[in-house]
């Protein structure tokens, strides 16, 4: 449960995870401004009831940085998104 202060690229080898989880999001009003909170919940195979596994918070600066990472990783991202009027 933490507020992200920095993104950095990791170069070690990784592969896809074998399980999937749900992720909830909410907008939080904090003294320093708006934060986006992302909370993951345990996988469907978890023995206990659904509860938060991990929570990350991003301020505007980190959200902009994450947006740059996403658009560099997935070129054309957003071009097919229909924005509400």
How many domains does the structure of the chain reveal?
1
Query: Does 2 map to a domain?
Result: no
CATH number, domain with residue 56:
2.30.31
Domain assignment of residue 29, yes or no: yes
Is residue 69 a part of any domain in this protein?
Answer: yes
- Position 5 in a domain: no
pLDDT value of position 60 = 97
Stretch 58-66: mean pLDDT? 97
Residue at 79 is within a domain:
no
Q: In what order do the strands lie in the sheet with 52-58?
A: 2-3, 52-58, 33-41, 23-30
Domain range spanning residue 67? 21-73
Residue 48: pLDDT band with limits 50, 70, 90: low
Query: Is residue 65 one of the residues assigned to a domain?
Result: yes
Identify the band that residue 79 occupies on the pLDDT scale cut at 50, 70 and 90: confident
Q: Is residue 84 part of a domain?
A: no
């Amino acid at each position: 449960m933490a507020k992200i202060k920095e993104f950095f690229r990791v170069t070690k080898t990784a592969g896809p995870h074998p399980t999937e989880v749900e992720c909830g999001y909410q907008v939080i009003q904090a003294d320093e401004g708006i934060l986006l909170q992302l909370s993951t919940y345990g996988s469907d195979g978890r023995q206990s009831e659904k509860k938060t596994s991990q929570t990350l918070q991003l301020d505007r600066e980190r959200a902009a940085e994450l947006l740059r990472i996403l658009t560099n990783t997935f070129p054309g991202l957003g071009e097919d998104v229909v924005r509400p009027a």
